[in-house]
Amino acid sequence: MLDAFSRAVVSADASTAPVGDLSALKAFVASGNRRLDAVNAIASNASCMVSDAIAGMICENQGLIQAGGNCYPNRRMAACLRDGEIVLRYVTYALLAGDASVLDDRCLNGLKETYAALGVPATSTVRAVQIMKAQAAAHIADTPSEARAGARLRKMGSPVVEDRCASLVAEAGSYFDRVISALG
Amino acid sequence: MKSVVTTVIAAADAAGRFPSTSDLESVQGSLQRAAARMEAAEKLSGNLDNVAKEAYDACIAKYPYLNNAGEANSTDTFKAKCLRDVKHYMRLISYSLIVGGTGPLDEWGIAGQREVYRALNLPTGPYVAALSFARNRGCAPRDMSAQALTEYNALVDYVINSLS
């Protein structure tokens, strides 16, 4: 498992050279608190994100919870919720590390083959991940939609930075995209 | 590779939980010291050749017998390899400063070190002399800030301990 720092070191070691450009890592350090807040925003809302993503996936495809569907009976629905949480957890780890290696090695490696063997439909899985991607973006930027959340609207705090951590939203999005492309 | 972040993630993953507040506190503690470590790494890697050369020269001055025929520093090839080894250690120290843990030194420098030196019949004393020179040569604030020098010294000490 690597993080942003050890990734730079491993690639410098390949050419037995000192790490040349430290500016990206210095920026990582300087915006470290933003990253920790982003991780906290996801971790604190994780169970809500997962159940909403799976519920959204089922709303769009009711066949999943009818007899013969992949979320029927409860045992398989529970497995689905568990897998949603696992994917979100590894994306959170990758966001904390600033590197996708933990997600690749421990979650995505062999996932597609496992789901194919178990008969889990890839399109539904991808849809749930897409919903979690949108949720993560809203939680990191702290811009939950009042129209959709209604009485359940929940904000992490008052915004402290102008750009609302746009770079971290993009980075988290890239990890969700990695999951989606690994499943496709 | 061992660092604060990877250790925290490995522990959270083993327990199957999301990163907790105390996990994030640990990472923040590492990030707070990162600025000093980055400074030390930057200064060291920008001057790697000179630091290694000085340390190498100091150890040969202390152990001149190494230049005698058949000893570890007797031929030009051997001399180049001795200097290269010292330079490797300094480079791995700069990596460890960046990572914020001893991972690069452990994995690429210290693992198997004893066996290699025994097989090649190399003395470890001169390495200690070279690294001790590099450690005591550093001076704050001439070379880097005091906090950066502390981080640098701690890692040089780590290597010296592994060799003695």
Token output for A65: 């919870």
In angstroms, the CA A1 to CA A122 distance is 27
| Tens-digit pLDDT profile for residues A146-163 | 777 787 777 777 666 777
Q: Nearest Cβ partner of A5 from B13, B18, B98?
A: B98
Give the closest residue to B117 by CA, choosing from B157, B162, B158, B156. B162
Token output for A111: 């996932």
Taking the CA of residue A99 and the nearest CA in chain B, the distance in Å comes to 10
Contact with chain B for residue A33, Cβ under 8 A:
yes
Domains in chain B (CATH in brackets) are 33-163 (1.10.490.20)
Domains in chain A (CATH in brackets) are 32-142+161-183 (1.10.490.20)
Over residues A2-11, the mean pLDDT reads 92
Asked whether the beta carbons of residue A9 and residue B95 sit closer than 8 angstroms, the reply is: yes
The predicted complex's ipTM stands at 0.88
- Size of chain A, expressed as the number of residues it contains: 184
Taking the CA of residue B26 and the nearest CA in chain A, the distance in Å comes to 11
How does pLDDT run along chain B (164 residues), one tens digit per residue? 888 999 999 999 999 999 999 999 999 999 999 999 999 999 999 999 999 999 999 999 999 999 998 888 889 999 999 999 999 999 999 999 999 989 999 999 999 999 999 999 899 999 999 999 999 998 888 889 999 999 999 999 999 999 98
Cα–Cα distances (Å) from B130 to A167, B12, B163, in that order, read 44, 40, 12
Looking at residue A153, its pLDDT comes to 78
Confidence of residue A142 (pLDDT cuts 50, 70, 90): confident
Chain B residue nearest residue A43, CA to CA: B18
Taking the CA of residue A29 and the nearest CA in chain B, the distance in Å comes to 6
Contact with chain B for residue A39, Cβ under 8 A:
yes
pLDDT exceeds 90 at position A145:
no
- Size of chain B, expressed as the number of residues it contains: 164
In chain A, what residues touch B104 (CB-CB under 8 Å)? 6, 9, 13
Interface test with B, best of A1, A2, A9 (most B CBs within 10 A): A9
In chain A, what residues touch B20 (CB-CB under 8 Å)? 43
The structure's pTM equals 0.89
Q: What percent of chain B has pLDDT over 90?
A: 84
Interface test with B, best of A2, A5, A95 (most B CBs within 10 A): A5
Contact with chain A for residue B6, Cβ under 8 A:
yes
| Tens-digit pLDDT profile for residues B6-30 | 999 999 999 999 999 999 999 999 9
